[in-house]
Structure formats: C-alpha cells, structure tokens
Structure 1
Amino acid sequence: MSRPSDRIVGSTIDGRYVIQKVLGEGGMGVVYLARHALIDKLVALKALRSDLSSDKEITTRFLNEAQAASRIGSPHIVDISDFGVLPGGSAYFVMEYLRGESLADRQARLGVFSVRGTIHIGKQVAQALAAAHDAGIVHRDMKPDNVMLIDRGGDPDFVKVLDFGIAKVNSQATRLTRAGSVFGTPQYMSPEQAAGVPVDHRSDIYALGIMLYEMLKGGVPFTGDNVMNILSHHMFHPPPPLRDGSRSDLPPELESIVMKCLAKKASERYISMGELLADLDAFERGLPPMATHELLADRNRFMAPPTSFPSGPRPVTATVRTLPRIAGGRLPWVLGGAATLLVAALAVTLVVVRSQRQKEALAAAAASAAAASSTPSAPTTATPSGPAVRLVVVKVKPETALVTFVGGPLDGSQRAVRNGQVQVEVAEGHPVKLRVAADRFVEQNIAVQASDEGLSVDLRPVSGGAPT
C-alpha cells in the first residue's frame, strides 16, 4: 500500500529536481532523495506534509528552518540551496545530501564513546551552535537524531547539525511560539524549556550537555514512564554522576564540564558555546577547566532551588499533542499551556520529597574533582609536560564585561565575569593575552603572567558615562 508521501516519487519538481525515493518522515515534513537534472547532483528535498500545508503558522515555521539554517554559514550546519512550492501547494526546500550516519544510530551501535571521540564530536556540535547563536538563532531541539556524522576532509566523524524546524530566531517579527507551549524532545529539554518559560542559547548548551553525558555513559540522565516525569526530573533532580559503575575511569575534570552544562539555572551554565569550547580545549591540553574550580568551590552549585520556576495554579488536565516520529528517532513533543502547569505542580511536589541520595549525587562529582586536585590525574587525552601551570585570578569591573583570549590555542574564546572576577590558567614563561570589553566602556588589553597576584582591570566608561 502506497503512502501519501510516495505520490511525488518519480516526478520532476520545478523542472529540475527528479524525486527518487523517500528518505524519512518527520514532524512537519517528508525528506526525499532527489537528483538535480541539470547538474546531475544528488540532493535532499524536504517538503511540508500535505496535511499541514494549509496551516499558515506551520508553513511559516517550516520555511523558518530553511531561512535559519541558510543564514548561519557554518561548515557544520547543513547547507540549504533552494526552496519552492510543490504542485499540491506544499512548501519545500533543498539541502545537501549527506552520506553517513546519525549520532543516534552511532550511539545505538556503539553504546558508549571514548573520551577522545566524545570531545571530537562535541566540539564540532558546539562550533555549529556557536555560529547559530552568533546569528541570533537558538536551535531548541538538539539531540543525536539531528547530528549527522559524515566523511569529509579526511575526518570520518565530521559533524553536520540538522533540523532547525523549531529554532527561535531573534529577529523574526512574528512570535511563532504560543505562550505557555513547550517545544522539543523531552529527554533533551532544558529545565526552563520544560517549564514553558522563555529560553535563550543556554538551552542549547544544556541539550549538548545531555548529549555529552549520553555519549560517555551510554544513556541519557533522565528517563521516566511518561513525559511529565522526564520533564520534572530536568527541572528539579540532579543528574546521576557520570563517574560510577562502568565509567568510573572517566576524568573528574570532564565530568565537571558536563555537570556545568547541566546546571538547573541557566545563569550557572556556560555563558556561551565559546566558553564551553574553552573548557574542552583546556581539558584536552591537561589544564584544569573552569568548571572544575567552580564545582570545588560549591558542591551544590549546579542544583537550582524549586523557586527557579513558577509553580503555577493547581494541576489541571493536560492535553499533549505529539508529532510523528522520525524513523529510528526519539519523539519530539509540543505541550500546551495546561501541560506546563501540570509539570510545574508535579515538580514542586517531587522536589519536596527529593531524597538525600540525589543531593549526594552531585556532591560525589565535586568530591571526585577534589580528590583529583590533591592527587592530580591528567585527562586520558594527554599528560601535560613542561612549565608549571598556575591559576591566576583577575578582578574585573564592570561585571557585565566579557574577557576574550587573544592569540594562543584559546584565541577567540570567551569567559564571563563571575562574582567580579575571572580565572585564567597561565603557564610559567607563557603569558596569556586577554581583551576585556563591555558595552559603553573602553576595552582594555592585558597580558597575564603566571606570577601575577592581585591583578585587576577597571574599564573606563566611554564619553557620556557608563550606563545607568
């Protein structure tokens, strides 16, 4: 029996795209393998499902995917080359055809990844999302199904990020997300996404943290019998430690990076993908990541109090609208406002009865990092040698400033000012150059030596004064 999606197989669209077969079906569209008749090149053509083509908002969201992906301009984002309308009235767009396997399929095949493999893939995903964030785009549905691993440039695990179908584009004039709605895939939703409150780029950082956790551990941190249970765990329960059971060999420094990504409060996560990349780079070089210092300073730092999210009125009956499953993939969800209220009410109840064992889970990660700091154990990727490395504290005013590394292996990466200071790893004899900048202040460049103590930067307001 033929499917509705098979109807255009064998036809030629707009005189140039010969449809060969169906590659897969998703929540809003069907992806076809097509051949460009004029240049004899295989492409992937994604068409809006015919039963959704009359819905103006869905059509706008579908085209948003093409516009969002095409404006980013990253080698790690799928390339969009054309768009149009099928004879039946459904919108479509054309993208590069990728030969490879999804990260989800690789995960199912391998179970767990090596530390080196996890970082190699994770850094590329972070680079893709950093480019998207720089373009004002938040993906909002990052998961292994939306990452393709292809062979390109001699790299058999070259990353391509797909599916910007529910991306949040800051510049769009019309708000496509209905108030109180929850978009995404439950296993990878950030706490604020699960609560139905506004999200920003730090929601993608959380989702990438879930993916890193899954690659290292072989499973996501939060599972449940139903969607509400999973979402409430994202909002209020600490993730189980990475370094137990079969993965007790994992470096505590790497665990601290993942746990920082998974902080309940968005403000406690990395301020940007660039900052996360800087920590991953530091780990690869055998230097202590910023996340390790933060976890040592406060073992409960990454657990948010229940007041982080609105509890809402009493629980009401929830109506959950599901989107069709992509073959082999996890189910994305769209929850109405009533479901959001129920999630919040359930979560408040759950947090009251949270067990001491769950509180101790994150403390275990801090204890592991503390032990590692007293008895150093280098990451498995490399054991550093050469000059001693010292952590230098730089006091910075104003606190809104961003500190950017200039030159060296961390060139271009940024660190946020937290509690009026930043921490910089400096090797003896190898000063680190930094640029400190803030809106409406005169930026300043400094060189930090390993021997520096009491270093401070106080930016001078530009003419007209500092913002009030």
Structure 2
Amino acid sequence: MASGDEEALYGEELGVGALVSDWLVEQVHYRGPVSTLYRARHVRTGALAALKVLLPQPSDVALRRFRREAETLQRLRHPHIVDVLGYGTLADGRPFIAMEWLEGRDLAAELASRGPLSPGEALEVLEQVGGALRTAHQAGVVHRDLKAQNVVRLSTGSGAPRVKLVDFGVAKGLTPDAPGASTLTLTGVSLGTPLSMAPEQIRGEPPDARTDLYAMGVLLFQLVTGQPPFQGATRHEVEDLHLNAPPPRPSERAPVPAALDAVVLRSMGKRREDRYPDIDAWLDALRRAVKGSPTEDQPTLAVALYAEARLHGAVEPSSLERLDALLERVGGTARAAGLDVRLEGSGCLLAFAPLPPEAGAEQAARARVLHAALALVEFVAASEAPRPVDLAITVHVAELPREGSGGGLLHLPGWVAEPPGTDLVATARALEGLETAFLVTPVSAAGLGCLRVSRPR
C-alpha cells in the first residue's frame, strides 16, 4: 500500500479498511466533539463492533476521561450495560475502545419517532436501566449523565423493549478503588447534560447515587410525556430551573396515573436527602405507581403551609408594595423548603407537598417546613415599628388532596388558625415528634390541638 493510501486510512479520521487491533473499519457512525464512533467488523469472526476513537491531540482531561470510561466499562458487567470487547491505542497514540455493536436507536430518537411511552412501557425500560445502575452503584460508580440519548433500545424483533446503558465518559467513582475513581472531576466543576442534571451537579458538588436518581426522575418524565421537564433557550436558563423551579407533574402533560407524579416529584427533590435512598426503593415506588398494590388506597399525607398577610391602618401604595414583597418572600421560602405553591390570593398563599413515607425523612420534612415558617414570622416581627403588615402562618399535616376533592388541606376553615398578629401556629399532627425541638404554647383553633411556635429550643 502506498504511503498516501495509508494516510487516507489512518489520518485524523479513519478510512474504510483501516485495521484497529482485530477490527476492520467499515464506516463512520457518529462524529462527536472529542471522539469518533466507527462501525467495524472482527477480522476472524466477522462480528460487528463499535469503535470509539479519540480525536488527534486530545486535551489531558479528554484523554483521562476516555481511559476512565474504558476502565469503568471493563469492570461493570451487566446485561443492560454495553459490553467492552477491547481497549488499546493506535500507532499515533490515540486510545480506542471496542464495544459491542448495538443495533437499534437511543430513547431520544425513539420518542421523536413514535411519541411518548405508556406507563407500562416506561416501567419495562426503567427496570432494565435501574438494574444497570444498581450494578454501577454497588461498584461505587455514579453515571452522572443518564439521559434518553444514553439509553439504546435494541432492535430485537419482539414487542418487549430491551435496552442498554451506554457512555460512562463522565462517570464518577465514589471510592478510591472504584472503577473510574480519579481526581479528574473536582468539587466546583459541573459535568453532565443540563436537561437532566441534578442541582448538586450544577453547583459542582460531589455526586452520589441519588444524583442518578434525580436523572431517573427526569427520564421517567420524558418517557411518558415525550419532553423533558425543564427546557430553556440557554444552558443557564435550564440550570436555573433545575436549581429553583418546582418540577412539573407528568399528569399535567400526559394521560398518566397521578401516582406517577409523586415518583417524579420525589426523584427531582432539590435536596438529595428528599429523594429515594437507592435505586431499589425508586423502582419499588415506580412499580406501585404503575401496577398498583394492596396499599395503594391508603392516603398519602402532605405537609401544608398557609400564610396570610394583613395590612394595618390606611391602605397606601407603599404598604401594598410591602405586602406583595412579603408574599413573594413567603412563596420563595416555601419552595426552598420543598413545597409547591398551589394557591395565591391578594393577601394569602397556600403551599403543600407530599410527605415521604419513611419515618425519619417524614419528620425531617416537617421540621424543615416549620423552621422555614418560623424564619418568616421572625423576619416580619423584626421589622421597624409601626409595622404596616402582619404575617400569620399555620402549618398542618393531612391527606394529600385528590383530584376533584375539596376537603382535607383544601378546606382551610377546618385547620387554619387566626392569630391576631404575626405568629406561627402548628397543628398537633405537624408537630408530632418535634415538640421538644421548639418552644410552643397551646392555642385554640379548629379543635386540632394547635400550638403557637415561638422559637427553636
């Protein structure tokens, strides 16, 4: 072969007929920003393979990330994780990974072609993705870039979907001996895809398994609605939504069971402590939401915050501005505490969210809301006299309202207290198990054993 022909085969982009270890390049399959994916065939067996080859003169970060992906995939063996067939370097030093050839298309292409999946189909797919994540997490590896484009649905010829998880290029080892563990990714560096990044990723904080569970919530939402929960014109806009906006409910965009809402909302908790503890708990919740269970009729409890701002004296533009600013502050504080604002009036606001079923997490969620409410009334109480606006807040726990229901939390006269000034009142159920954490005094309100909360102990 003439030297010019060799350069054509082994230049920046490998040509048809280039030999890479035991694989013969057949065509370019995908050109990426730092690597090229080729379809190749084994010279002896004829088996197809996907060759991922780094582009010439890669940066140190790209080179180390590429090698880390190869090492990670070689150690993570699972039926729903892409198999690595070989790993090496070209004559010019560029590394390559030979992986099994996956005949099919990624879930993003699948959704674009056929539209959203049914809840049952989504469960079939996510059971397999969850199994892959379980293996990774047990090995101390977080994927960190779980998204529809990185899950390939194989062309099996049968109706049942079969998928494989790919692209561990930004995977992170949780322990020094975990596959993929390195000092490549430092705290303060954000890696991943904005459409599915957890808030801690955006802030550059160390990931853990619950970081992938956030992405599973995003993927579930996308599978059943056909679109990601948060979209924006810029990366910054999308990141800001993940950091600050309450996640939308899939039932608002697609005809799916309302039970899926709770799975998505908990998966996409802003604080990782509010999410499911592991992939098995996540899958169990999804199965119950899709298939139902003997306990599905048991009510879901929610913690609620009702705030009412009251003006003193004559109504003036300045006092109205103070009232509006105060209610805006209340709304922001409620959202930061994990609540969804459901009602906003000219001088009032109602926010609530389902409580997690685990006792410890449930109590922590109530404590977080109580501390947030107390901070609001302390802020108003500390304002200069004469105070033009008072703020009365009641915190309560009751059954999460169901569609078409007007009782429970939505029947405000049944639980909202009416203290004369700026005060926080909590019902006995909201304070259960937390009585010693706050200084409280009994009050009379709606027969619910309400207590005035004055400060933490």
Q: TM-score, normalised by structure 2?
A: 0.63
Aligned-residue offset at 1:109: 1.3
Asked if 1:142 is matched to 2:149, the reply is no
What is the identity, as a one-letter code, of the residue corresponding to 1:116? G
Q: Distance in 2 between matches of 1:299 and 1:288?
A: 27
Match of 1:28 among 26, 34, 54: 34
1:274 aligned onto 2:280: yes
Q: Secondary structure at the match of 2:24?
A: strand
Determine whether 1:42 maps to 2:30.
no
- Residues in 1 aligned to 2:35 and 2:294: alpha-carbon distance in whole angstroms: 45
Alpha carbons 1:112, 1:215 under 8 Å: kept:
yes
How many Å apart are 1:125 and its aligned residue?
1.2
Report deviation, 1:373.
Answer: 12
Matches within 5 A, 1:145-294: 145-152=149-156, 154=158, 156-172=160-176, 174-244=182-252, 246-247=253-254, 249-287=255-293
Alignment partner, residue 342 of structure 1: none
In 2 relative to 1, CA 373–86 (structure 1 residues): closer, same or farther, beyond 3 Å? farther
Partner SS state of residue 301, structure 2: helix
DSSP-derived class of the 2:224 partner = helix
Q: In structure 2, what residue type is equivalent to 1:11?
A: A
Q: Distance in 2 between matches of 1:18 and 1:369?
A: 60
- Are 1:255 and 1:365, in contact at CA under 8 Å, matched by a contact in 2? no
The separation in 1 between residues aligned to 2:288 and 2:304, in whole angstroms, is: 21
How many residues were matched structurally? 321
In the other structure, the counterpart of 2:342 is 360
- Helix, strand or coil at the partner of 2:342: helix
2:13 is the alignment partner of 1:6: yes
Q: CA deviation digits over 1:199-251, x for unaligned, max 9? A: 1111111011101111122211111221111111101110122222x52x321
State the 1:96 CA deviation.
0.3
- Whether contact under 8 Å (2:174, 2:208) holds in the other structure is no
**Which structure 2 segments of 5+ residues have no match?**
1-7, 306-328, 344-349, 355-397, 407-431, 434-457
Q: 1:113 aligns with which of 117, 122, 125?
A: 117
Cα deviations across residues 129-183 of structure 1 (Å, max 9, x unaligned)? Answer: 1111011110000111100001449564101000000000124463111331100
Give yes or no for contact 1:192–1:199 (8 Å, CA) kept in 2: yes
In the alignment, structure 1 segments of 5+ residues that lack a partner are 301-347, 376-418, 421-468
Structure 1 residues 250 and 39 mapped into 2: Cα distance closer, same or farther (>3 Å)?
same
Structure with more contact order per residue of length (Cα contacts < 8 Å, sep ≥ 6):
1
SS at match of 2:52: strand
Q: Deviations over 1:352-407 (max 9, x none)?
A: 8989x9622996885996327989xxxxxxxxxxxxxxxxxxxxxxxxxxxxxxxx
Does 1:122 find its partner at 2:126? Answer: yes
Distance in structure 2 (CA, Å) of the matches to 1:289 and 1:142: 31
Aligned-residue CA RMSD (Å): 3.5
Shift, 1:266, TM fit? 0.4
| Letter paired with 1:298 | V
Kindly provide the amino acid, as one letter, of the partner of residue 194 in structure 1.
I
Alpha-carbon distance between aligned partners in 1 of 2:401 and 2:12, rounded to the nearest angstrom = 56
Letter in 1 for 2:191: F
